[in-house]
Structure 1
Amino acid sequence: MRRLLPFLASFLLLSLTLRAQQAPSTAAFDAYCTVFFKEIQGLSAAKDYRQILSRYPEWEMKYNALGPSDKQLFRSALASVDYNRACYYALLKDKPNALLSFRHAVAHGYQNYSHAKVDSDLDLIRNDKDFQQQMALIREHGDFIYVLQQARSYASNEGRPLPTFTYQSAEEPHLVALRKTHKLDSIAGQGNEVSRFINLLHWVHEQVPHDGNHENPAVRNAQDLLRVCRAEKRGLNCRGLATILNEAYLAMGYKARFVGCMPKDSTDYDSHVINAVYSTTQQKWLWMDPTNDAYVMNEQGQLLSIEEVRARLIDGRPLLVNPTANWNHKVSKTKEDYLYQYMAKNLYKLQCPVSSQYDLETRTGSKNLQYVTLLPAAVGTTKPAVRHTQDGPTSFTLYNTSNAAAFWQKP
């Protein structure tokens, strides 16, 4: 049924992650869950809700037997079990237990506000005061457009000093080699500037699959990442894919950055990295996402920047995603799940390296890596202007700003 789909999709992704880990208890519970929830799905299709409710205590008993770290790992599954239990009780007209189960789901971290808002299975309790109070709690953490709207403004007149963003010349020898080795001129084609950007986006998406469950190789430049992935038949996480596309753009003489897109919740480690490439014909940065082969447009089909997409999410103006957007040719990306859910969550904070260059993040010698983070004004004013950290021989200088114009300055 409809309420099961968001959980089953997220559980399958969690399951793929867990299989890369070694803990026996984790793997055993993961395997158990795969079988259990397939059974529940069948019972739900048969509308045997009482049988499902009788089966949940077994799952909870096995969950409660896990160690603390495994419990945390499967906490979202616990929240989804509570949510689905609320649905089944509501369908059986058991209002007290439906409300109690929904309260437990919220306490255990259920966050899918947009789904709960329209799920007809919960209509029995929708007008109840307790349900509405719980929905208000979910909204603060799971209605990501609402969260953006609450912190919409930047501080355009903020005067904290920032370093100047720099972009490596296409004449740099490694970039020249990248361009020649992979025949980037032919890949980009002879069309207009935007078509060349898109062709290079498609090329990176086709070269390496996305794999968010493993670390990228230690050497992090386009040439080596492509070579290792082909030799080992492996993928890269979103940062690795954005690194390849960024260096391909630089090699072609385009000014580009990779952009870390992060949520408000500092305990949520699910972030994303995409690219911004500067269009001289349109005089703005354009959104390019090699993980999902995606770019974003307005209702006239004009390509948009990250800044414009964020503003349109906040204001409710139309957004379009290219129809070919996909994840590993397995899942199509629609504006509903890609923009209004996933990216709305991850457009709260944005971060770019100060220097856009070949092999930037390979840890060699005593590098000093510099990054600028763009924060909403309400948050940015509470953060220090500059922070220095150390990780082994690598030092980091982290600048915070709420000045969007400075962050998105023209190259």
Structure 2
Amino acid sequence: MVTIKRILTYIHDKIRHDGQNGNPKGGNNSINFAEACKDGSRGLNCRGLATVLNECYLSMGIPSRVITCMPKTYINDCHVINAVYSSTLGKWLWIDPTNDAWVTDELGNLLSVQEVRARLRNGQPVHVNEEANWNNEKKTTTEDYLYEYMAKNLFYLESWTRYGFNTESDREKLINYIFLQPTGCDSEERNPRNYSVNDDRYFWQAPQQAKTD
């Protein structure tokens, strides 16, 4: 877990979040994004940050996914985080580079995205880490981040079915999406290459190989 947290904080501190502007052109990958942001003149939106962090984890042999967290009705806002697999804990952990954030239960145990979603639904306590912040300027609090903002953005989840360098650039042609949705709901995505499921166990199945974190 130390490695997962250190990589998260490193990317969070190196590239600021900018949700008001689009990401750099020239390739949706960590190298292009980091190069464009290295002088500090610009940042990335939440998807860009999650893309950079995702490829950093993958380069270290740590399974990682980009997770788009969607509200029931999309108006003008959603949020993108990472799910990073801890072989030690045997689950996909909630990792958010926009806020340098992970989530724990009342005993301090790290939680998966699946567990956070279930706990919010069931009224069980969740806590964001004390270090969580936005751009090292504003503290990220449990109340604002989890109970106000993310609670509405966990109605359904989107992920890719495969991950690698520059995957985000190929998503329109080569990438299949998988959607985790409540029973009876269906996203607006009608591409026959995509999958819609309501089985948490299927969506969050463990990767075939995972490096010890």
Structure 2 partner of 1:319: 126
Opposite residue 164 of structure 2, the aligned amino acid is Q
Give the equivalent residue in structure 2 for 1:208: 15
Q: Which structure ranks higher in relative contact order (CA pairs < 8 Å, sequence separation ≥ 6)?
A: 2
How much does 1:269 deviate?
A: 2.4
SS at 2:124's partner residue? coil
Paired residues in the alignment total: 206
CA distance in 1, matches of 2:112, 2:94: 5
Which residue of structure 1 aligns with residue 159 of structure 2?
Answer: 352
Q: Looking at secondary structure, tell me which structure has more strand per residue.
A: 2
The residue that corresponds to 1:377 in the other structure is 183
Distance in 1 of aligned mates of 2:9 and 2:47: 16
State the match for 1:272 in structure 2: 79
Does structure 2 conserve the Cα–Cα contact (< 8 Å) formed by 1:387 and 1:399?
no
| Cα distance in 2 between the residues matched to 1:305 and 1:363 | 27
Please list the CA deviations of residues 37-92 of structure 1 after superposition, one character each: whole Å capped at 9, or x if unmatched: xxxxxxxxxxxxxxxxxxxxxxxxxxxxxxxxxxxxxxxxxxxxxxxxxxxxxxxx
Matched, 1:398 2:171: no
1:288 is aligned to 2:84: no
SS of alignment partner, residue 62 of structure 2: coil
State the TM-score, normalizing by the size of structure 2: 0.91
Counterparts of 2:203 and 2:58 in 1: how far apart (Å)?
19
Could you tell me whether the CA contact under 8 Å between 2:15 and 2:40 is conserved in 1? no
1 CA distance for matches of 2:106 and 2:204? Answer: 23
User: Within 5 Å, which residues of 2 pair with 1:11-26?
Assistant: none
Partner SS, residue 379 of structure 1: coil
Q: Among residues 184, 191, 196, which one is paired with 1:388 in the alignment? A: 191
- Whole-angstrom CA distance in 2 between matches of 1:362 and 1:232: 23
Comparing 397-406 with 285-294, which one deviates more in the overlay? 397-406
Specify whether residues 209 and 232 from structure 1 end up closer, same or farther in structure 2 by C-alpha distance, changes over 3 A only: closer
Residue type at the aligned position of 1:216: N
Q: Which residue of 2 aligns with 1:101?
A: none
Deviation at 1:358, TM superposition (A): 0.7
Which has the higher mean CA deviation after the structures are superposed, 216-225 or 286-295? 216-225
Q: Secondary structure at the match of 1:324?
A: coil
| Structure 1 residue 240 corresponds to structure 2 residue 48 | yes
Query: What does residue range 40-189 of structure 1 map to in structure 2 within 5 Å?
Result: none
Shift in Å at residue 387 of structure 1? 2.7
Contact 1:296–1:322 under 8 Å retained in 2 = yes
The two structures have a TM-score, normalised by structure 1, of: 0.48
Q: Whole-Å Cα distance in 2 between the matches of residues 354 and 201 of structure 1?
A: 22
8 Å contact kept, 2:94–2:102? yes
Deviation at 1:367, TM superposition (A): 3.0
Q: Which has the higher helix share?
A: 1
In structure 2, do the counterparts of structure 1 residues 215 and 316 end up closer, same or farther at CA, with 3 Å as the change threshold?
same
- Identity of aligned pairs, percent? 46
- Structure 2: gaps (5+ residues): 208-213
Extract unaligned runs of 5+ from structure 1: 1-193, 390-396
Structure 1 residue 363 displacement after superposition? 5.2
TM-align CA RMSD? 1.8
**Correspondence for 1:304:** 111
- C-alpha separation in 2, matches of 1:372 and 1:230: 33
